[in-house]
Every structure is written in C-alpha cells, then in structure tokens.
A and B are shown apart, each in its own frame.
Chain A
C-alpha cells in the first residue's frame, strides 16, 4: 500500500515535469531544455513503476526495453531531416500499438467491471486505428504507396458499415466479456478502419493527418490509462491529445478547409479546374537572375516541399550568406502547411544552420510584401497561388497564401510546369513580374551561388 502511494506521488512529479517541459517548448531558446525535462519525467515514471508497482518478473521487461531502445536509438540517429514526417508517423503508430496491447492485457487483471471493458475497447480501437493509419501515412510519405487519394465507389458506405460493426462488437463484448472473440473482431476492424481512414487523403494533406494521428496516439494512451486506472497515463495522454488537436486545427485553418473536408473529400483527385488566367511564361537563366539578385537589397525566400525533395536547404543557406555579404537582407517566409508536417520547413532550414530569427510566418511577411525586391519561391506552389485570393471558382479560394506576387520581382524555381498538389494551375507563373528558373532546385540555386563566386 505504501509503495503504491510513493509511486503515485512520483507520478505527480512526472506530470509536472511533462507540463513544464511542454511549456519550455514554447520558445526556440528553451525548447531543448524542455525536451530534456520532459524525458526526465518519463525516466522517473519508468523507474518508479519498476520498483514500486509490484513487479515480480523482470525477464520480459528487459527483453522489451533492450530491443525497443536499440531500435529507437538507431532510428533517431539515422533518420534524415527530410524523412522526419515518416519517422514521426511511424513512432506514432508504435505508440498506438503499445496502447492497444496495454488495453488488451488489462483484460486479464482482476476485478473486471463493465467500465473496464468499455475503456479496454476504447484503447484497443483508438490504438488500432492509430497504428494502421500511421503505417499507411508512413507508406504514403515514403512513396511506398501512391501519395494520391485512393477512392472507390461505396467507400463511405463501407466505412459506415465498419463503424457499425465495431459498435456492435463492442456492445456484445460488454454484455459477454468472457467471449474474447468479440475483442479480436474489434482489433481486426480497427486495423481495417485505420487503413480506410488514411487512404483517401492526398499527399498534400498529410500535415493534417499526421497532426490528427498524433492526437489519437495521446488519446489511446489516455484510454489505456482509464483501463488500468493510472492517472499519469490519463494526464500525459490528454496533453498529447490536446496538442495534436491544436495542430490539426491550425493546419486546417491554414488550408481554409474543415477537418471533415480534409478527411472525406479526397481533395485534388477529381477537380481539375482551369483558371482563366494563362499566358506566356517568362523563363530566366541563372546568369540574368544573378544580376537582379546582386542589385536587390531585400530578398524573401519561400520554401516548399520541393526544397525538401531536392535537398536544397544547404545550398539555399549558402545563397543566403552570399546575399547577406552583398549587403542584402534575407528573410524566409514559411507557410504553415508548406511541406509534409507542421513546421517541416523550419526543421530543414535549421538543419542547414539558418538562424531561426529570420524564419518568418506568413502573417509577418505578407504586410510588407511590396518592400521585397525579389521573392524566391523554392519548390512551393499552392501556398503562393494568387487564385486563393482572387478566383472565387478556384478550389483553394479563401486559403491564406503568401502573396509573393506583390513583390517587385518573383523567381519561381520549378522542375517543370506541372500543377501543384491541389491539381491547380498557378496564375502566378504568368504574372508580368514573375520569372521562371526551370530545373532541379538544388542545381538552380547552386548555379546562382557560383555566379556570386565569380
């Protein structure tokens, strides 16, 4: 009894450390310390559980911890910054699976009540959906399966049937807890539901899905906390759940779409609306671009997923340094949904040692767009599309975008004239102040850097 009391007091300390750690994540200057504080909270919780929670057999624990820690360390060390969205998706999935297993194991503890059954079902359900959903998200981001929305006739009816079957199994299981087959059915159905939930969502909408799955992994831990009656799981799970929900809502706002629209519409799959605005595209050579940049005193760089694909962040930083040496002020304008997860661009640029005080948010750069001599768009498309502002017929009308077309000159670095993820033509390319620098972003910027060197 005494041991349990000690453990619970230690859990309170852990919860405080998690909360304080998350608070410190609020500023780049203290964020790293915050993460360490949070990990100390986790360490404390684990140690206390090991010594004070009546554990008698350490053999299996040792196996699980050693194998898990080894995989975790290797994955964290080896992952490339560009592959971070996949990594986070995968970790999310493992967290969900762990909660599923914990919920399931709780069934074999003494004193099962109907309330326990309900929470077991919830943790199995949310954990299962998180697991397969994250795995599909990982495969999509990795391009192991197509990044395009996968849609088929009757999809929403099938989803509704799966949901109904899950509820039916849950009710039957609550009435007859001895029959574990119902639980197996729920596990299977939740796996299928996780797959069905992510396949209709396109690559460009991944930031929303990853945020949502992040939230689910927290909620799964929360449900497992109810199942095993552990308050720390409930508190920590709720914090993560809330965090994921906030990120999800920020992402949805940045796309001017509702969550249900992102989840169920298969955006970009069928729509191919031609904007009325077409015209002549004006290509530019690196040579000419250099002369314009040399004369510029204020440059804005707008990165997008294309920068990540081309691994152009380091050479972009080189260009930034050369411009700064030339007496030019360089700022980055980062759209909230640029890339494949929230904050993706910021991490890539931080990797290239770009100082975080020149990374500006959309709302900071838009009001002074006219003052930029040159806006360089690197591998971004939909987030700089002026149709969102001007063309009421456009699928992205109303989405807040970075208004690069108001800058004096716009350079668009692009591989080809293909449309963006939303499948829309971008009138920006035809504007009189736009110049297209075709080719691989890394090579194009490399050419500019060489021009400065000469």
Chain B
C-alpha cells in the first residue's frame, strides 16, 4: 500500500497536467516552459531537508549543493518568466501613438 498510494497520486497528477497544459496557447509556450521549469525546482524542499537534518556530513554537503542549484532554478525561473510575461501586451486601439 505504501507504494500504491503515491503512485496513485502520480497518475492523477499526470492526467491533470495534460488537461491543464493542452489549453495553453502557442503564444505562451516559452513562458510556460520557463514557468513549469521553475515548478520543477520543487526538489528544493527535498534539498532543504537533506541539508538541514543534521545527518551524515556527506548528506549535508549533497543537500547544500542541491539547495544551491534548486534555488537558481526556482528564483531564476520565476523571475525570468515574470519578465517575459510582463512584455505581453494587448494594445487598445487609439492609445497606440501616445506611448
């Protein structure tokens, strides 16, 4: 049962992911990619536990390195996505020349 339970959640999450992502228009595929990439940095919380649990030295070092790389992934990923999405504008007719 211990294995079945997370596997069950995994399958449901995959189907949910398919449903969500197939609705994203092609215009937004690059931000989608970098945004979902930032989400994959969720491994950071595993890294935090490994680095701070006060276990073996090797595990702590591995965890600390993982924290560093995952943080780059999370912080960089969200910021760059935000920067990109900030550029997507819909222009109101008439207001075009005032800027």
Chains A and B form a bound pair:
yes
CB within 8 Å of B: which residues of A? 18-19, 21-23, 25-29, 31-32, 34-36, 38-39, 42, 45-46, 49-50, 53-58, 60-61, 63-65, 67-69, 71-73, 75-77, 79, 81, 84, 87-88, 91-92, 94-95, 97-99, 101-102, 104-109, 115, 210-211, 214, 217-218, 220-222, 224-226, 228-247, 250, 321, 324, 334, 336, 341-344, 346-347, 350-351, 353, 355-357, 359, 361
Interchain nearest-CB distance for A330 vs B (Å): 12
* In the complex, residue of chain B having the shortest beta-carbon distance to the beta carbon of A210: B33
A250 to chain B, nearest CB (A): 8
Docked-complex contact B30 and A346, CB < 8 angstroms: yes
Residue numbers in A under 8 Å from B68 (CB-CB): 63-65, 67-68
Q: Within residues 38 to 91 of chain B, which ones have a CB less than 8 A from any CB in chain A?
A: 38-56, 58-91
Q: Are A84 and B84 in contact, CB atoms less than 8 angstroms apart? A: yes
B33 and A341 contact, CB distance less than 8 A: yes
Return the chain B residue nearest A227 by Cβ.
B46
Q: Which residues of B contact A247 (CB under 8 A)?
A: 21, 29, 32-33
**Can you give 16 A-B contacts (C-beta < 8 A)?**
A25-B35, A31-B28, A39-B38, A50-B52, A67-B71, A77-B83, A81-B87, A95-B69, A101-B65, A101-B66, A105-B62, A105-B63, A221-B43, A229-B6, A235-B13, A246-B22
**Separation in Å of the A363 CB from the closest CB of chain B?**
10
Given A228-B49, A237-B42, verify A35-B76 contact (CB < 8 Å): no
CA distance A396 to B16 in the complex (A): 34
Is the pair B82, A35 in contact by a Cβ cutoff of 8 Å? yes
In the assembled complex, which residues on chain A have CB atoms less than 8 Å from the CB atom of B32? 25, 243, 247, 342-343
User: Is there an interface contact between B66 and A76, defined as CB atoms closer than 8 Å?
Assistant: no
Minimal beta-carbon separation of B73 from chain A (angstroms): 4
Q: Which residues does chain A contribute within 8 Å of B42, judged by CB atoms?
A: 42, 45, 221, 232-233, 236-237
Our pick among A56, A81, A357 for the contact of B54 (Cβ within 8 Å) is A56
Q: Which residue of B lies closest to A45 (CB)?
A: B45
- Would you call A102 and B24 a contact (CB within 8 A)? no
Please classify the interface of chain A as helix (H, G, I), strand (E, B), loop, or mixed, using the class held by over half of its residues. helix
B51 to chain A, nearest CB (A): 5
- Band of interface residues on B: 35 or more
A21, A64, A246, A334: the one within 8 Å of B67 (CB):
A64
B17 to chain A, nearest CB (A): 3
**Is B3 engaged at the interface, CB distance under 8 Å to the other chain?**
yes
Q: Is A72 a contact partner of B79 (Cβ separation < 8 A)?
A: yes
- Shortest Cβ distance from A219 into chain B, in angstroms? 9
The 10 closest A-B pairs by CB, nearest first: A68-B71, A242-B17, A64-B67, A343-B29, A72-B75, A72-B76, A55-B52, A342-B29, A76-B79, A238-B13
Give chain B nearest CB distance to A112 CB in angstroms.
12
* A73 in contact with B75 (CB, 8 Å): yes
Asked whether A343 lies within 8 Å of B36 as measured between CB atoms, the reply is no
